[in-house]
Amino acid sequence: MKKIDKKVADAYFRTRTTLIMSFLAIGAIVSFGVVLVAESLTEITVMGIPLHYYMGAQGAIVTFIILLFLNAIISDRIDKKYGIDESRNESIGKGNPIDH
Amino acid sequence: MDSQFIVSFAFILATFGLYVGIAIYNKAKVASDFYVAGRGVPAIYNGMAIGADWMSAASFIGLAGTVMILGYDGLGYIMGWTGGYLLLTFLLAPQLRKYGRYTVPEFIGDRYDSNVARLIAAVATIIISFTYSIGQMSGSGIVIGRLLEIDYRFGTMIGAVLIAVYAALGGMKGITWTQVAQYVVLITAYLIPVIFMSLQLTNNPLPWVSYGEVLEQMKVLDAELGISDYLTPFTNGTKWQFIALMFTLMAGTAGLPHVIVRFFTVSTMKAARWSGAWALLFIGLLYLSAPAYAAFSRFILMTQVANSPINALPEWTKSWVDTGKLIIADTNADGILQWTELQIANDIVVMATPEIANLGIFVIGLMAAGAMAAALSTAGGLMMAISSSLSHDIYFRSINPQATDKKRLSVGRWSIIIASLVAGVVALNPPGAITQIVAWAFALAAASFFPALLLGVWWKRSNAAGVISGMIVGLSVTLGYIFAAKYGGFTILGIIDTGAGVFGTAAALITNIVVSLATKPPSKKIQEEVQDLRYPEQMTYRDGEVWLDNGEDIPPTK
């Protein structure tokens, strides 16, 4: 066990939280945001589909999928930057202290 | 017996054999196999298992039809049911995985240090999972019944017995690998017909790209008929109902115990994040295709069925008219079936596609197997959630903590068998339509689990009194609103019963915060455990300091 500077640990948490909050905000804009202004988007079309319908049927879902993969990839990078070793995580996670 | 019967029967029998075989091969030997599949499922396979666990009979059979009938307003289901994975993967799943318990109620009980909270959560899990499973059981009954031409009640019981057998054998370990197989079956069955239909109507094998063309032609047809445009927003409810429904489905998704527990089967927080990403990709394949199904089917109904002489309708319509799923009435007695004289049940859209597009008996058989896979995989996961609550949260944690591993496995197995059979019997006379029941289950999950888990993970000050009162208030507000809206005609901003979760969630969050602040903070140990969830496994928070486990020395004891 090695002690980590509290500032470093806080920075880790802050980076991850900022990432998550930005992604949630984008997710909210493409779904709730678009629904709120749906009536004004009917004239714009994407692949022959009016924008409000396109966002609900495809745009929002594709954005969600991209956000989830970005989160997984970027979080891995952050872990690496902070010297986290996934194989160590695995052995800690598996030998769970609270496996009844 | 015609050849269609033999082919459908063979497909269903082959997939059933596969599921039971997988469960026998992955028989659970110890409690951690039974509850969390030994915590070693690779993220990509867990993603498939989440997909199958998640996509129910309602998604497979009913979603495209709902989108077809509701037009734009049906998209609330698509965005709500996919958007929930953002909340789940970003805010809850990795942290809950690090906390390392077997069930969701166990997390709530230990995080809030309260047996009462655990028991309320266990009972809520059982009620939510049970309501949700009724739809799956009757859905599987309808499929078996229609395809094998037997009474759907026999079909329902066949489904229930099958789940009881394979879930009891393998526990979570068996269910995981069965769900992986079920995902492959269901997605293949879902995509093949829509790809062929896209080829037939637009000469383009990619339905996701081609249905825009069909929507444009439909706009012209709608205008000719003088009916409201298919794509016009908010024709079936207010904008606020759309938003409330979408929120309810998202928060409910993030709070459904049978889905969350799938994230407990992987090894680390990192694997939980990747599971969520893979899961939504696999789920997205179906959800992105549902609006294409809807567009193609509506187009075919408008061009090939409507405006035909009533005695010269296409051949495939007959069996659907017989089952009452397609109602035709020549109300103006001109011998021609007008669009407005057609009434379409939403299950038709997907299930009739192979017949409409004339894809032959193998695709119809595959479709049946796919619909069964969707119903069984979800029902299996739900039965597992019920059984874990009964055998782990209630029996082991409250009644007999000294039980041996062997005893716990046997209690777990028996509770799955009993739960499956009871759900099967209730599904013989299912109350209300499938989508309706499912929508209520989401409102209840959104109001009970989502706030309890969200504050449990992100706010260390939240305590037992807060969570207990929060869950009770959340559930009461939701149930109250559902009944007031459904039977009393009371609504706020046009929000009906399916959107009730928005009020329940808000009420539960506010109650939890207010009551927690008015009572004593949780113990130092619990507050530290909550702060510990901010970091990956290798980092531990203790006494205001963060430690990195570099494997060099023995960690100091607590």
* Rounded distance between C-alpha atoms, residue B78 and residue A31, angstroms: 10
Calpha distance A32→A38 (Å, rounded): 10
Give how far B411 is from chain A: nearest CA, Å. Answer: 15
Contacts of B548 (CB under 8 A, 6+ apart): A1, A2, A3, A4, A83, B538, B539
Q: Rounded CA gap, A2 and B33, in Å?
A: 33
Q: What is the pLDDT of residues B470-494, one digit of tens each?
A: 999 999 999 899 888 888 888 888 8
Interface test with B, best of A14, A19, A37, A92 (most B CBs within 10 A): A92
Element (H, E) at B548: strand B545-548
Question: What is the DSSP secondary structure assignment for residue B427, as one 8-state letter?
Answer: T
Domains of chain B, by residue range, sit at: 3-305+345-430
How many CB atoms sit inside 10 A of residue B193's CB? 27
**Measured torsion, CA atoms of residues A18, A23, A25, A27, in degrees rounded to the nearest 10:** -170
More confident residue, B460 or B217: B460
User: CB B324: neighbour CB atoms within 10 A?
Assistant: 9
Q: What CA–CA distance (Å, rounded) separates B230 from B494? A: 21
DSSP 3-state assignment of B557? coil
CATH number of B3-305+345-430: 1.20.1730.10
Pairing of strands A49-50, B326-328: unpaired
Range B525-537 average pLDDT: 90
Percent with pLDDT over 90 in chain B: 40
pLDDT at B466: 95
At residue B558 the predicted structure's pLDDT band, cuts being 50, 70 and 90, is: very low
A residues 21-60 lying closer than 8 A (beta carbon) to B: 23-24, 27, 31-32, 35-36, 38-39, 42, 45-50, 52-54, 56-58, 60
Is the dihedral angle over the CA atoms B80, B81, B86, B87 positive or is it negative? Answer: positive
Give every CB contact of residue B252 below 8 A, 6+ residues apart in sequence. Answer: B84, B441, B442, B443, B444, B445, B446, B450, B501
- In the chain, the amino acid numbered A2 is K
Which of B200, B207, B228 is CA-nearest to residue B295? B207
Distance CA B280, CA B302 (A): 33
DSSP secondary structure of B24-55: HHT---SHHHHHHGGG---HHHHHHHHHHHHS
Mean pLDDT computed over B191-206: 90
Q: Judge whether B54 and B82 are in contact, CB under 8 Å.
A: no
Count of alpha carbons within 13 angstroms of residue B163, beta-carbon side: 36
Structure tokens at B471: 């869950």
Q: How far is A18 from chain B (nearest CA, A)?
A: 11
Task: Record the pTM.
Answer: 0.92
| Beta-carbon contacts of residue A34 (< 8 Å; ≥ 6 apart) | A41, A51, A52, A55, A56, A59, A60
Mean pLDDT of B511-533: 94
CA distance, residue A20 to nearest chain B CA (Å):
6
What pLDDT does residue B439 have? Answer: 67
**Nearest Cα to Cα of residue B168 among B349, B361, B420:** B420
Q: Are B466 and B511 in contact (CB under 8 A)?
A: yes
Residues 6+ apart with CB under 8 A from A95: none
Q: Is A61 on the interface with B (CB under 8 A)?
A: yes
Q: Do A88 and B550 touch (CB under 8 A)?
A: yes
> Percent of chain B, pLDDT > 70?
96
- For residues A75 and B46, what is the distance between their CA atoms, to the nearest angstrom? 19
Q: Is A97 on the interface with B (CB under 8 A)?
A: yes
Closest partner CB to B534 (pick from A13, A64, A71): A13
Q: How far A53 CA lies from chain B's nearest CA (Å)?
A: 6
Instruction: Say how far apart CA B521 and CA B430 lie, in whole Å.
Output: 45
Q: Look up residue B300 and give its amino acid.
A: I
- The pLDDT tens digits along chain A (100 residues) read 788 888 888 999 999 999 999 999 999 999 999 999 888 887 888 887 888 899 999 999 999 999 999 999 999 999 998 888 888 888 777 655 454 5
pLDDT value, residue B435: 55
For chain B positions 333-352, those within 8 Å of chain A (CB to CB) are none
Say whether B280 and A64 touch across the interface (CB within 8 A): yes
Q: How far apart are CA B430 and CA B417, in angstroms?
A: 20
Alpha-carbon distance of B62 to B348, in angstroms, equals 8
Q: Is B391 on the interface with A (CB under 8 A)?
A: no
pLDDT value at B553 more than 60: no
Q: Which of B557, B463, B450 is nearest to B517 (CA)?
A: B463
Residues of chain B in contact with residue A24, where contact means CB-CB under 8 angstroms, are 86-87, 90-91
| B538 touching A (Cβ < 8 Å) | yes
Chain B CB contacts of A71 below 8 Å: 89-90, 273, 277
Is residue B235 within 8 Å of residue B428, measured between CB atoms? no
Tell me the mean pLDDT in the region B85-96.
95
Residues B274-291 as b/e (b if ≥16 CB within 10 A, e otherwise) read: bbbbbbbbbbbbbbbbbb
- The count of other CB atoms within 10 Å of the CB of residue A88 is 17
Cβ of B407 under 8 Å from any chain A Cβ?
Answer: no
What is the ipTM metric for this complex? 0.93
Strand partners, B542: B545
> Residue B557: pLDDT above 80?
no
Helix (H) or strand (E) segment spanning residue B433: none
Question: Which spans in B114-151 are helix H?
Answer: 115-148
Residue A3, strand partner residues: B547
Alpha-carbon span B408 to B29, nearest angstrom: 11
Residue type (1 letter), A92:
I
What distance in Å separates the CA atoms of residue A87 and residue A82, rounded to the nearest whole number?
Answer: 15
By the CB < 8 Å criterion, does B553 face chain A?
yes
Provide, as residue numbers in chain B, all residues whose Cβ is less than 8 Å from the Cβ of A67. 86
B118 near B471, Cβ under 8 Å? no
**Rounded to an integer, what distance in angstroms lies between the CA atom of residue B182 and that of residue B375?**
10
Residues belonging to chain A: 100
Give the pLDDT confidence of B96-131 residue by residue, as tens digits.
999 989 899 999 999 999 999 999 999 989 988 988
Burial of B312 (0-12, 13-18, 19+ CB in 10 A): exposed
Identify the H or E element spanning A15: helix A6-28
pLDDT digits 0-9 by tens, A43-60: 888 887 888 899 999 999
Domain ranges of chain A: 31-86
Contact between B288 and A56 (Cβ < 8 Å): no
- B154 against B556, higher pLDDT: B154
Structure tokens at A41: 């988007």
- Chain A, nearest residue to B110 by Cα: A98
